[in-house]
Structure 1
């Protein structure tokens, strides 16, 4: 079973640049003026439309599994707003978090 999440964004062009240039996701324009970003089986879909009659935002964190958290952290941290640095977690693995250009919190986790 796969999961895709539709999220409101502030600006499609800025979101495209961030996910492509900073995070290295595959980015493509998709149906009805949306933007699809994908990497390693994860998929987020962004729209600038106010489908929910609310500003962009989420009280949760989107977790992505990565093969090499240290390498990916070194790649993206200099260009991103780091929510928490790379660290070992008490429940196993290591992870770090960033805030994307829309204010969403993204975590990247490697199971050890």
Structure 2
């Protein structure tokens, strides 16, 4: 099973959120649908996937997430721009079924 660390942002790329999951499709779907309306990502409209990394173990992914969260904003921006210079929504072409999410 794969595990992922991901960064999502809002429409204007002003807010960054770093998360970890073992089901990236469902997690992104949850952010887009605001499955948890009081969450940070829902309040700040973060639903645009701009970066992710895949790992074989949850320990590796969690360790990486903790490191990312300690980085300053400039380092995070540089990381995103190395992979995704135009800050495109990487999940746009994933054909996610946004009618419902399994997260809740």
TM-score range, shorter chain: under 0.3
Higher relative contact order (CA 8 A, sep 6+): 2
> What is the TM-score when the length of structure 2 is the normalising length?
0.26
Higher helix fraction: Structure 1 or Structure 2?
A: 2
Higher strand fraction: Structure 1 or Structure 2?
A: 1
> What is the TM-score when the length of structure 1 is the normalising length?
0.25
Kindly name which structure, 1 or 2, has the bigger radius of gyration based on alpha carbons: 1
